[in-house]
A and B are shown apart, each in its own frame.
Chain A
Amino acid sequence: MENRLKVLRAERSWSQQDLAEKLEVSRQSVNAIETGKYDPSLPLAFRIAELFNLAIEEIFVSPASRSSGAI
């Protein structure tokens, strides 16, 4: 799933390892989510959103919205 995680992380000058530690997941998890190879569960998506103080849909792009050109 397309997302803004890498941009949001870069804005805060966090490494993938920094973000992984804040989320209590492995660095590989952060990398997989950033590159769209893995879609996080809803609880993890909420943790990510709460960490950045954003709504989930402000970080993750809905595939339906993407295909319909809504975003």
Chain B
Amino acid sequence: MVARTQAWKRYNIRAIWLSLAYAAFLLPAVYGFKHQLIGGPAAYLVAVLPALPIIGIFAAIGRYLVEEQDEYVRMLMVRQTLWASGFTLSLATIWGFLDNFQLVGHIDGYWIVVVWYFGLGIGGLANKLTLGAAGC
């Protein structure tokens, strides 16, 4: 575990607000589509709204990397994101081919975000094993 810096605390606050926004957009969207209350062009907007806070969290991670003053802690996070990205892209590529040849079922695209966050954990483990500190 690495010391929680001011930049990390600011990231956490942003992530909490974005998570609340995600819930605030997702729940009405699910309800609206389930009860067929939404149609036409508005449906596209309502469907995309829950994605925006998640994109915001990616931006918040980028902002954290810019604001982090502790270069070692920043490096740990950069390594984590590289691991997460590599892991996610690799898994998505493998799954894409398996799906293409109809060997596995189709998975909704937004699960890629969940896999990426799981990849952050793998990056933390890699940091712990190689550098002795996991990161954020």
List the interface of chain A (C-beta within 8 A of B).
24-29, 31-33, 35, 37-38, 40-41, 44
Contact = CB atoms under 8 A, between A and B. Distances in A.
Interface of B: 2-3, 5, 69-73, 75, 131-133
5 smallest CB-CB distances across A and B, nearest first, come from A29-B72, A26-B3, A28-B133, A26-B70, A28-B2
Given A29-B71, A32-B72, 19 more contacts: A25-B70, A25-B72, A26-B3, A26-B70, A26-B73, A27-B3, A28-B3, A28-B72, A28-B73, A28-B133, A29-B70, A29-B72, A29-B73, A33-B72, A35-B132, A37-B131, A37-B132, A38-B75, A44-B71
B34 to A, nearest CB: 47
Contacts, number: 36
Contacts of A25: 70-72
Which DSSP category, helix, strand, loop or mixed, fits chain B's interface? loop
Nearest to B135: A28
B131 A32 contact: yes
A43 B3 CA distance: 21
11 contacts: A25-B70, A25-B71, A27-B3, A28-B3, A28-B72, A29-B70, A29-B71, A29-B72, A29-B73, A32-B72, A37-B132
Given A32-B132, A32-B133, A38 B3 contact: no
B20 to A, nearest CB: 29
Query: In the complex, which of the residues B2, B5, B72, B75 has the most CB atoms of chain A within 10 Å of its own CB atom?
Result: B72
Contacts of A26: 2-3, 5, 70, 72-73
A41 B71 contact: yes
B73 to A, nearest CB: 6
Nearest to B131: A37
A2 to B, nearest CB: 17
A25 B133 CA distance: 15
